[in-house]
Amino acid sequence: MSYKIVNVVGARPNFMKIAPLMAAYRRTTDFEPLLVHTGQHYDEKMSDLFFRQLGIPEPDTNLGVGSGSHAQQTAQIMVGFEEVIREHQPDAVLVVGDVNSTIACGLVAVKRGVKLIHVEAGLRSRDRSMPEEINRLLTDAISDLLFCTEQSGVDNLIQEGVDADRVFLVGNLMIDTLLANVDRAKASTVLDDLGLEEDRYAVLTLHRPSNVDDPSAMARILDALEVIQAELSVVCPMHPRTRKNIEAFGLTSRLEAMPGIRLIDPVGYLDFLKLMSSARLVLSDSGGIQEETTILGVPCLTLRENTERPVTLDRRGNRLVGNDKGAIVGAYQDVRDLPKDGVDPPPMWDGKAADRIVEVLQSHLLEPAAVRA
């Protein structure tokens, strides 16, 4: 009898992480993998587009929770997910990343006595004002098996008292997806569609509450962009949170008055990969984009004071610049002419993380007799 694992996705960065894992399960007959989408993200361009582009199977269940306050969203996911557990009686639940769907489903699983597996465990920004840091700390505290993308994650977990025999450094599922798609993305017509020239523009993404929920932080970032866009085109696929806040803060007209900035809807994975790979530099407060630019060899200015992904700072590519105008513009001037080469991938960011995870699951969860050669 195969081992039933319910896998959880909810928000955009979860989709790139689950895609290679769902494919890796299918290369064995040991597991019955089910997929649950909480519906935390639901716009076509924040969700379904990724399922199609990355060949993720249709979810077995979509809880359809949508947006709300942290309490509302987390509580609704928990109530919906408890029904899933009741109905399917899985042997384990696997959650990825650090979004509200991650902790909500993790908590339900352990309270119902189901084993919990966390992929992307141990990352720490040490900034508890970030909702994701709370989600990371709590999910790791209740997980049975913890898979890490970088050595800092392993070290953090051990320091927090997690048994070393439950912690596995396996590499990075997001990079599995990047390496599997980087050639496909070359065929994207996004540069022509947007009238951009290879290496002659920057990509900007913003969605952290510390930047986009605070009008003064947003205004400081716009001050910096005003300078940068005067010499380099900036294309900005706008996260829905950011679009709403820019409108609410009355900043739309200021942005529209900057001729070098292109505000566009969020784009699909292949177009975004093409946009990043061909850019002079990337400015972002995203978690995953720090990792992707590290592998693409594109300089990344991270508009945050801290990162839970310090391995990206050890490589030349990523710099923490916060959201102060002078710091952003100064860092931009430092990196704008850097050659885009010298990629130095962190250990095991080689496209094989999903296979490593499945191997550990086979050796640690299955009865010895059931493990296939």
38, 188, 205, 293: which one binds ligand UDP (CB under 6 A): 205
152, 286, 318, 323: which one binds ligand UDP (CB under 6 A): 286
4 DSSP β-pair partners: 32
Q: How far is CA 31 from the centre of its chain?
A: 25
Give, as ranges, the residues between 169 and 188 that touch ligand UDP (CB under 6 A): 174
Helix (H) or strand (E) holding 252: helix 252-256
Q: Which does 315 bind (CB under 5 to 8 A by kind): ligand UD1, ligand UDP, none?
A: none
Residues at the interface with ligand UD1 (CB under 6 A): 11-13, 40-43, 46, 67, 73, 98-100, 131-132, 207, 239-241, 244, 287
Q: Hey, what's the torsion of the CAs at 72, 75, 81, 87, to 10 degrees?
A: -120
Does 287 engage in binding with ligand UDP (CB under 6 A)? yes
Q: Which does 43 bind (CB under 5 to 8 A by kind): ligand UDP, ligand UD1, none?
A: ligand UD1
Phi (first) and psi of residue 332, to 5 degrees: -60, -45
Does 40 engage in binding with ligand UDP (CB under 6 A)? no
Q: Which residue has the tokens 């199977």?
A: 57
Q: DSSP E strands: which ranges in the chain?
A: 3-9, 31-37, 61-62, 92-96, 115-119, 145-148, 167-169, 201-205, 233-237, 261-264, 281-284, 300-302, 318-320
**Residue 142 CB, nearest approach to ligand UD1 (Å):** 17
CA-wise closest residue to 281 among 294, 295, 299: 299
Q: How many C-beta atoms surround the C-beta of residue 276 within 10 A? A: 21
Query: Which residue in 41, 118, 207, 239 is the catalytic one?
Result: 207
281 DSSP β-pair partners: 202
In the residue annotation, 118 being an active-site residue is answered as no
Does 358 engage in binding with ligand UDP (CB under 6 A)? no
Binding mask 100-139 for ligand UDP (x = CB under 6 A): ----------------------------------------
Per CB under 6 A, residues contacting ligand UDP are 12-13, 16, 174, 205, 207, 237, 266-267, 269, 272, 286-289, 292
Q: Catalogue the active-site residues.
A: 207
